[in-house]
Structures are given as structure tokens and as C-alpha cells.
């Protein structure tokens, strides 16, 4: 917690450092008037959004605000009732879903690892999509990328801590060298210290690989610390769309202000205690 507060102190400096580190080869993602209903429930209501190549976007909002639906519409786990989604200018409906998903990494809360397969075999599932599932050198490279020791390859998932398992989840998602990463509450099941460390380490990977990352989180503090841009959803609509520093300066409107108020008050209380 203390670490988080100290990092809150200089978001501008961190953003500047990131800008110089980045080289983007992840794609741009555009939403044009995307609407989706589940029965009579409007989950997405005329979403128009341009996500720049190489950016790290957090989708924040109350439970049921449409975050997961928006995310799943990008890799066609759901097909919106109307509107278009373009990846690097290409309508995703013109692509074969299998080919589309090969270029998109997907990380979910709780890892989704197969408990009866070794770490290597779990990572190789990510490689199977690209027809390289016997590529042990790639497994080794991926373990190094997510800072796991090489001898973890033959371990079973339940012999790893939650944070280590989530690192395997990242390795599997990165296996087919996607440019775009979709992450739905990727750190949600982890304790705060592990969560913070993994968040920082993923952010470095995002910058190093030049990825485009879209991350769903209900934790505004996490979004403020890790993302370049925060989209706040409210009942399927975009209630705010701003940089973390703008949101902290009350630049996001009422819904965003209510979400930012909690980490801001916590940060203030803790810095007073430290005086
Ligand atoms: N498969 C589904 N069938 C019916 N309603 C759904 C389904 N998935 C989500 N919803 C509803 O759509 C709304 C948005 O859900 P979701 O995108 O999962 O929100 P979030 O991820 O922000 O919690 C919610 O009201 C939810 O109950
Ligand atoms: Mg969700």
C-alpha cells in the first residue's frame, strides 16, 4: 500500500518515462457506434472509441456496467447487435475468428490453467494456435519473459503461488506473439503485494514489446497506477475518458470522481500517517 501511494506522487514522471520507452507495433482498436443487448438489458449503448496503437487502456466501472461485454466483443466471444469494431482499420467481422484470436492475447482472473498439465504444456496450448506447440525454445523464452525460473517448466500449476500461476497465464497469452492483449481482472485473485509487483512487471512487458493492452479492472487505484488512459463505463455508456492525472484532478465528471475519491482519500490518510 505504501509503495502504491509513493507511486501516486509522480504519475507525470512515470508517463514521460513510458513515452520514451515505447515503440508501438500493437494495433489500434476502433469502436464505431457499438450497441449490444442481452434480452431487454442494454449492455453496450452506442460506444464510439478510438484506442491508439501501443496504448495501455483501463476499462473501469461498477459491476454490470458492460466492461466484460466490451472486452469480449473485441475477440468475438460475443457479437454486438450493431456497430463495427476495427483492428488496425480492418473490420473484425471480415476476419476468421480463429485467425483473429491468434493475434490477440487473452488473460482472465484466476489464470484458467489446466491443473493436470505441466507449466510447459499449459504454455504450449498458447503455441498450438500458431502451430508451434512443440517449440521448447519458445517455452523457455516465454518463461524468461515473465520472470519465471526455467525449471518451472515441468512443475504442475498447483505447486505454484497465485502470482506465479498468473505469470504462466501471461506467458500462455503471449505465446503466439499477439500485438493486442485483452485482460479481464487479471490481478483480481491476487494479494495486494503480488498484485502490485505483477502489475508493474506486466507494464514493463507492455512497453518493451510495444503491445496495445486493454485491461478491465474494478480497482480505480490499479487503473490510475498502470494505465495511460482510463475509460469509465456506466450502464453501457462511456462516462469518462481521460488520462490518470486528469481524473485525479477531477477532470472526469461525477461517476469518475466518485471512483477516484476512494484511492485519493486512502493516499491522503496514509501520507498523513507517514508525516
Ligand atoms: N450472458 C449474459 N446474459 C444476460 N445478461 C448478461 C450476460 N452477460 C452480461 N449480462 C448483463 O449485461 C450487463 C453487463 O455485463 P458485463 O459486461 O459482464 O459487466 P461488467 O463486466 O462491467 O461487470 C450486466 O447487467 C449483466 O448482468
Ligand atoms: Mg466483468
Q: How far apart are CA 201 and CA 141, in angstroms?
A: 16
- Which ligand 1 atom minimizes the distance to the CA of 66? 17
Of residues 15 and 75, the one with the higher pLDDT is 75
Q: Is 179 in the pocket of ligand 1 (CB under 6 A)?
A: no
Tens of pLDDT, residues 82-94: 999 999 999 999 9
pLDDT digits (tens, 9 = 90+) for 139-163: 999 999 888 999 999 999 999 988 8
Going by C-beta distance under 8 Å and a sequence separation of 6 or more, which residues neighbour residue 185?
Answer: 108, 109, 216, 217, 218
Q: How far apart are CA 51 and CA 53, in angstroms?
A: 7
Which residues are 32's β-sheet partners? 84
- Of 4, 53, 66, the closest CA to residue 237 belongs to 66
In the reported structure, the alpha carbon of residue 140 is separated from the centroid of ligand 1 by a whole-number distance in angstroms of 38
pLDDT at 99 over 80: yes
CATH class of 2-103+181-190+204-268: alpha beta
Q: How many residues appear in the chain? A: 275
Taking the model in full, what pTM does it have? 0.88
61 lines ligand 1 (CB under 6 A): yes
Read off the pLDDT of residues 171-211 as tens digits, 9 standing for 90 and up.
999 988 899 999 999 888 788 888 888 889 899 989 999 99
Determine contact, residues 263/224, Cβ cutoff 8 Å: yes
Amino acid at each position: 500500500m505504501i509503495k502504491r501511494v509513493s507511486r501516486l506522487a509522480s504519475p507525470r514522471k512515470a508517463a514521460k518515462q513510458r513515452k520514451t520507452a515505447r515503440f508501438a507495433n500493437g494495433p489500434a482498436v476502433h469502436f464505431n457506434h457499438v450497441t449490444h443487448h442481452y434480452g431487454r438489458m442494454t449492455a453496450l449503448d452506442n460506444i464510439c472509441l478510438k484506442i491508439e496503437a501501443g496504448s495501455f487502456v483501463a476499462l473501469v466501472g461498477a459491476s454490470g456496467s458492460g466492461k466484460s461485454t466490451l472486452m469480449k466483443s473485441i475477440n468475438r466471444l460475443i457479437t454486438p447487435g450493431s456497430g463495427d469494431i476495427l483492428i488496425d482499420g480492418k473490420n473484425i467481422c471480415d476476419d476468421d475468428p480463429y485467425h483473429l484470436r491468434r493475434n490477440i492475447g487473452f488473460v482472465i482472473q484466476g489464470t484458467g490453467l489446466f491443473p493436470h498439465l505441466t507449466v510447459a504444456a499449459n504454455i504450449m496450448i498458447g503455441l498450438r494456435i500458431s502451430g508451434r506447440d512443440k517449440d521448447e525454445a519458445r517455452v523457455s523464452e516465454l518463461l524468461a519473459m515473465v520472470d519465471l525460473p526455467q525449471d518451472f517448466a515441468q512443475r504442475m500449476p498447483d505447486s505454484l503461488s497465485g502470482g506465479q500461476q498468473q505469470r504462466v497465464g501471461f506467458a500462455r497469452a503471449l505465446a503466439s506473439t499477439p500485438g493486442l492483449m485483452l485482460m479481464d481482472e487479471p490481478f483480481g485473485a491476487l494479494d495486494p503485494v503480488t498484485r502490485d509487483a505483477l502489475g508493474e512487471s506486466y507494464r514493463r512487458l507492455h512497453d518493451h514489446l510495444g503491445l496495445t493492452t486493454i485491461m478491465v479492472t474494478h480497482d480505480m487505484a490499479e487503473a490510475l497506477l498502470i494505465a495511460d488512459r482510463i475509460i469509465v463505463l456506466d450502464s453501457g455508456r462511456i462516462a469518462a475518458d481521460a488520462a490518470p492525472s486528469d481524473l485525479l484532478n477531477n477532470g472526469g465528471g461525477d461517476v469518475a470522481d466518485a471512483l477516484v475519491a476512494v484511492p485519493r482519500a486512502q493516499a491522503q490518510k496514509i501520507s498523513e500517517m507517514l508525516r
